[in-house]
Amino acid sequence: DWVIPPLNIPENSNGKDQSKTLSYSITGPGADQDPLHIFIVQKDTGDLYVTQRLDREKQDFYKLLIHAVVEDGSAAEEPIEIVINVIDINDNKPVFTEDIFAGEVFESSPIGTVWMIQVNATDLDEPGSDNSIIKYSIQSQDPQKPNSSLFTINPDTGVITVGAAGLDSQVRFSKK
């Protein structure tokens, strides 16, 4: 959505100017500069088109200048600057910063013991938006002895704690 400033037509205009054909063009990154031709404008109508899928994670806004020129070559109006914001959608999954987070915990550790492990993931979607909120949970535990939920993970911080008694050996923990 954008607002185009009003066009100025002098009073007492006999209308001759209005019969001239305007020719529209756009300049700037995304048009005639790298990345080329993401936006094109229809020369005679001024309709602006996007030619490909936009990726906010590559470029989150474009600033273009729209020029309107009378076809005899004289400038009709000052160029208009428009800013096109690319709205984020949730198209990136969180990715763990490590393939394996490994740690050690003493056997017989009491419930609530903070294991010296905090898993961490990042998400490329817009920071601070709902699209990049990360919640951690444990999907599975191997082996499932002496019970299947020896550990708990803080969904917000990724800190893993001992969630049940009965640790009797060194365990290894992966992202799965």
Please name the residues in contact with 175: beta carbons below 8 A apart, sequence gap of 6 or more.
96, 98, 99, 100, 101, 119
From the list 16, 18, 174, the residue with the least C-alpha distance to 101 is: 174
Show the tokens assigned to 28: 């700037």
Quote the least distance from Cβ 85 to Ca ion, whole Å.
13
| Residue 77 vs 123, nearer CB to Ca ion | 123
Q: Which is nearer to Ca ion, 94 or 103 (CB)?
A: 94
Interface map 18-57 toward Ca ion (x if CB under 5 A): --------------------------------------x-
Q: How many amino acids of this chain bind Ca ion (CB under 5 A)?
A: 8
Supply the minimum distance, in Å, between the C-beta of residue 88 and Ca ion.
5
88 lies in the site for Ca ion, by CB under 5 A: yes
By CB under 5 A, tell whether 113 contacts Ca ion: no
User: In the numeric block, which tokens belong to residue 130?
Assistant: 């709902």
Range 50-69, binding Ca ion (CB under 5 A): 56
Question: The tokens of 153 are what?
Answer: 């993970």
Beta strand ranges found along 36-119 (DSSP E): 39-41, 48-50, 61-70, 80-85, 95-96, 114-118
Residue type for position 27? T
97 counts as binding Ca ion under rule CB under 5 A = no
From the CB of 134, what's the least distance to Ca ion, in Å?
Answer: 8
Q: How far is the CB of 34 from Ca ion (least distance, A)?
A: 22
What's the gap between Cα 164 and its chain centre? 39
Q: Residue numbers of the site for Ca ion (CB under 5 A)?
A: 56, 88, 90-92, 123, 125, 131
